[in-house]
Amino acid sequence: MKIIITLLVLGLSANAFAGQLLVSVDEMNASNNAKPPFTAKSVAPKDAPLIELSAPKLSAPVSSPTPIELKFQPTPPSAVKPETFKVLYGSFEIDITKRILNVAKVSEAGVNVQEASLPKGKHKLLMVVDDTSGAEETRLLNLRLSDMELIKNLMEFIVYKYR
């Protein structure tokens, strides 16, 4: 039992320091426990640019760190204005744009985050971008990060310990 508890602590601490987290565990928990804000149902403007998620694939839980790749598709003759890209986190819509920009490349083509580090659990990211005609697109991304890193650390320790 003592070994398993040690493994869990080692796994959590290794995962927590694998990279700078984009959001803290406290921010994630507060957001997940908050009631969803009232939002009016609306339709995006017809000529707004599209934000498409290329990675990760959301058909299964995602492990952290994970690459995040977004592609922007403007409606001609407009072009996407990358300087307007914004990311709001969770139910409280915490602006984490600066944190994303520290680890990502944003261009007219899209956004590429090589390794997004988030604590395990549920995450909601609201992404916003404008184009040169003033149209705004928003895209909601819901992620569920699994315990795969913890399991991987546990397995590596067991293999090492009992060789």
The pLDDT tens digits for 15-57 are 433 466 778 888 888 888 877 655 545 555 678 899 998 888 8
Domain locations in the chain as residue ranges: 20-146
Q: What is the pTM of this model?
A: 0.65
Q: Pairing between strand 66-73 and 50-55?
A: antiparallel
Q: SS3 of 97, please? A: helix
Nearest-angstrom CA–CA distance, 126 and 64:
19
Check residue 38 and report its DSSP letter.
P
What is the CATH T-level fold of the domain 20-146, as seen in this structure? Immunoglobulin-like (2.60.40)
Q: Pairing between strand 66-73 and 110-116?
A: antiparallel
